[in-house]
Structure 1
Amino acid sequence: MAVSSWDVWVEEALSKLESLKLLRSLRPISLLHDSPEPSIVAKVKTFEGLQSWDRSSVEVHISESTFQNWVHNIASSGDENVCRDGGVDGKVGARRPKLRKLLLFSGNDYLGLSSHPSVCRAAAQAAQEHGMGPRGSALICGYTDYHRLLESCLADLKKKEDCLLCPTGFAANMAVMVTLGSVSSLLAAGKKPLKDEKVAIFSDALNHASIIDGIRLAERQQEVEIFVYKHCDTVHLNSLLSSCTVMKKVVVTDSLFSMDGDFAPLPELAELRKKHGFLLVIDDAHGTLVCGMNGGGVAEQYNRESDIDICVGTLSKAAGCHGGFVACRTPFPLSQGNSFVLIAVDYESKSKWSQAVACPSQYEDGAQSALGFFLDGAGLFVKVQPSCSRPLLLNTLFQRNPCILFFDVHQCRLSDGEKIDGSDELGDENWEDHGIVLWSSCLGYRLDD
């Protein structure tokens, strides 16, 4: 089966939507000025060493009680950190909680762009000029030329012909999975697709929850068959693909798995794509602006951009803003069929619509500034230098509480007190004496202040 089979199926699905008068067009509202101001990006150098704003997104404070609950894994709603009228827990006149300074190592603001002056000014300027809200859904009055401009830039970054913005990366993954599933309903001979008419989705065992939720929703609508292959195991995937009789196949994977830190085997997946003709979808949330010489992501890093059919991404990680996006190649004519991605149509009832809400323009202006700022100094991520000269130990094996520890060379040990250098064991009560920085999957904290 040729890869172009999916092109035919998508065109047929779009034609079916159009015949049902369910295909809508976007009508961008113009917010651009006739005489735009000079670019804010040019006012701040791309990277001249660590600046004050590079620390502001990782230096935070937390109440002592919250800190203790977190360290000892005690359940908490977070109410102990809420102050009203100068008090704690709603008690007027109560003493403010003791705060502890933290350095966060669990964030996804990889380049520190969320605090960069160019990004902040662009977002503030957009909010002042155009307001905070989106006015309405994208299909009614919430889509602007700012949105379209950002979509075009993201499409260029991902080497795709078109792009569609979504409120979040989570929403983008959900929309893609449900939309691909809806192809089977639109092309089915009856009200619901038979087993061989469904879409077979092959998902990596460690894919993000948003992908899994989207697949489950499509499954509830009786539109897809689900196959889970072992993590990054292309041999197992090939076996599943070979034994599957469903024609419409989709393989979806994270490009960079954030919890394990490993990459999807894109070269091998690309070869399987040629063999089996499936649609290849990647979630490049953690690779965008981080991987590849131009920040184009993991596909650029492996020089496999042309083998990716759909690339999902987010603007809330390395871009330091908010929102998600779906970048596609030509056979998915988003300029004509945005509703095909924005809306998951229940063909049987024609009344159950799941529509993505438009993104506020200040987020898009900020993201546009962040993206332009990055591209203006392509390779920014390569230039970023470590902010700490002390050694880093990644401790995840055979430990009750996997974490990262920063030590002086002569003080290196594991998190639960196990010795590394033959010196005395280091228990919880001695951490503060040694100035240890500990990072867990939830937060990092510094005990040397």
Structure 2
Amino acid sequence: MEIVIKTLEYLDNLRLYPKIKTVSSPPKPVVRIDGRNLHMFCSNNYLNLATHPRVIKSNVEGTKNFGTGAGGSRLISGSTDLHKELEKVISELKNCEDSLVFSSGYLANLGVISAMAAPARSVAKELTMNMLYSLKNETVIFNDELNHASIIDACKIANVAHIRYKHVDMNDLREKLKKNRNKRKIIISDGVFSMDGNIAPLPEIVALAEEFQAITIIDDAHATGILGENGRGTAEYFNLKGKVDLEMGTLNKVFAGVGGFVSGNTDLCRFLRVASRSYIFSAAMPPGVASGLITAIKIFREEPGLRNRLLKNVEYFQSGLKKIGIHVKYYPTPIIPIIIGDESIAMSIAEELFKKGFFIPAIRWPAVPKGKARLRITVMTEHTTEQIDGLITELEELLEKYGVKNNPVHLKTLITHNV
């Protein structure tokens, strides 16, 4: 217990313990917190589908018809018509043969990555000890150093060797693949990196995977519904559909529900249904949620204007930042980080923004490395140009006030961070 108290004291002394704000309204561009209306620029509800009337109606009807919970795991009693339909709709969206739905994106990564790392161990331990020994010692996971925490944790519990390569550094990845040429290899990367908004260099990853005969897994949590002509994600964005073995994703961002999924060919998905422990031993997502997600995906495909308006807001915000001297590299993703660097300054700026009516919590260690604290700003389809202009005005004033805007060190970080 003493170590717990000391840890809390350490976090409190350095202002690292998060002050969680309680939101008393839906995740719209304006939210209610502590009796005040604030402009929210930190939500993953990118297309504002969480409050779409058809999505809400579908969620309610699904709950009325199937109850508030599934009543079991997918392999026992938890697979309903709605879960199967959701998997079908996701497969059509991703243009893949099959898909599995998990209760969360975190569980999807834990289950899929650990199962793919040691497939025999997952299903037939007592029959294949020699194969198990070989897999444990011969499988190596190659993991971008800025991948999401769920990927990092999945690599740890997979109980095989995992090597972190420098962020989007394909030369580093190549050298590490070369050193493990004779091993069974799996390359894992975010499609869009959650704290930076930049896009993985998928063409180079696929080329290296083909050269070194590696399995590829891409986490499209922030790319599905955003990237590609039809919103199918990173592979479509680079015209590489069919070249990635497994495409992961979450259902709580663009599609505004909760859950995770994996899409791939029929054999891989059939295997994962009996090998992913987080799929086997977790209760299925509530049927009402599945119903709402089905409708959200249908709306997304029917109304491409939603995504087009989002990307226009992204461009508008980026151009506004450039006008005040913050030159972040443009990516067609709604995540726009402004690197402050110092944790205390980042906290102070976030607190002042809150007082001025803008809700953007500071992101700091351990979510990002020490010395790289930031404002992780996200825009939504329903943000107005007036709201964006208002935020840019406040940012310019606060960055100047705290010496960030004119500080050469911080300015260099701002300019080069996503290059």
| 1:307 partner SS | coil
Are residue 212 (structure 1) and residue 152 (structure 2) matched? yes
Task: Judge conservation of contact 2:184–2:214 (CA < 8 Å) in 1.
Answer: yes
Partner of 2:297: 371
Partner of 1:391: 320
Task: Judge conservation of contact 1:147–1:361 (CA < 8 Å) in 2.
Answer: yes
| 1:136 partner SS | coil
**Cα distance change on mapping 1:420 and 1:358 into 2, 3 Å:** closer
Task: Judge conservation of contact 1:284–1:312 (CA < 8 Å) in 2.
Answer: yes
Instruction: Measure how far apart 1:413 and its partner are.
Output: 5.3
Are residue 141 (structure 1) and residue 77 (structure 2) matched? yes
Task: Judge conservation of contact 1:179–1:341 (CA < 8 Å) in 2.
Answer: yes
CA distance in 1, matches of 2:235, 2:223: 9
| 2:43 partner SS | coil
CA distance in 2, matches of 1:410, 1:359: 40
Task: Judge conservation of contact 2:147–2:190 (CA < 8 Å) in 1.
Answer: yes
**Cα distance change on mapping 1:408 and 1:192 into 2, 3 Å:** closer
**Cα distance change on mapping 1:276 and 1:413 into 2, 3 Å:** same
Task: Judge conservation of contact 1:293–1:379 (CA < 8 Å) in 2.
Answer: no
Task: Judge conservation of contact 1:249–1:277 (CA < 8 Å) in 2.
Answer: yes
**Cα distance change on mapping 1:271 and 1:82 into 2, 3 Å:** closer
CA distance in 2, matches of 1:408, 1:365: 41
| 2:158 partner SS | helix
| 1:256 partner SS | coil
Percent of aligned pairs with the same amino acid: 30
**Cα distance change on mapping 1:419 and 1:144 into 2, 3 Å:** closer
Partner of 1:275: 211
- The CA RMSD over aligned residues, in Å, is 3.2
Partner of 2:141: 201
Which residue identity does 1:377 align to in structure 2?
Answer: E
**Cα distance change on mapping 1:125 and 1:108 into 2, 3 Å:** same
Instruction: Measure how far apart 1:383 and its partner are.
Output: 3.0
Summarize deviations over 1:229-254 as a string: whole Å, max 9, x none.
11111111111111115432100000
Are residue 171 (structure 1) and residue 107 (structure 2) matched? yes
CA distance in 2, matches of 1:138, 1:203: 29
| Selected match of 2:233 from 297, 300, 312 | 297
TM-score, normalized by length of structure 2? 0.69
| Selected match of 1:406 from 391, 398, 403 | 391
* Structure 2: gaps spanning 5 or more residues: 1-11, 25-32, 327-337, 347-373, 378-389, 407-419
Instruction: Measure how far apart 1:418 and its partner are.
Output: 3.2
**Cα distance change on mapping 1:415 and 1:162 into 2, 3 Å:** farther
Are residue 190 (structure 1) and residue 119 (structure 2) matched? no
Partner of 2:171: 235
Task: Judge conservation of contact 2:218–2:247 (CA < 8 Å) in 1.
Answer: yes
Larger radius of gyration: 1
Partner of 2:92: 156
CA distance in 1, matches of 2:173, 2:18: 41
* Structure 1: gaps spanning 5 or more residues: 1-69, 84-96, 345-352, 422-449
Which residue identity does 1:355 align to in structure 2?
Answer: F
Instruction: Measure how far apart 1:331 and its partner are.
Output: 3.6
Summarize deviations over 1:389-423 as a string: whole Å, max 9, x none.
893465425553133682449965516433869xx
Are residue 255 (structure 1) and residue 184 (structure 2) matched? no
CA distance in 2, matches of 1:196, 1:182: 7
Name the one with the larger helix percent: 2
TM-score, normalized by length of structure 1? 0.65
Q: How many residues align?
A: 323
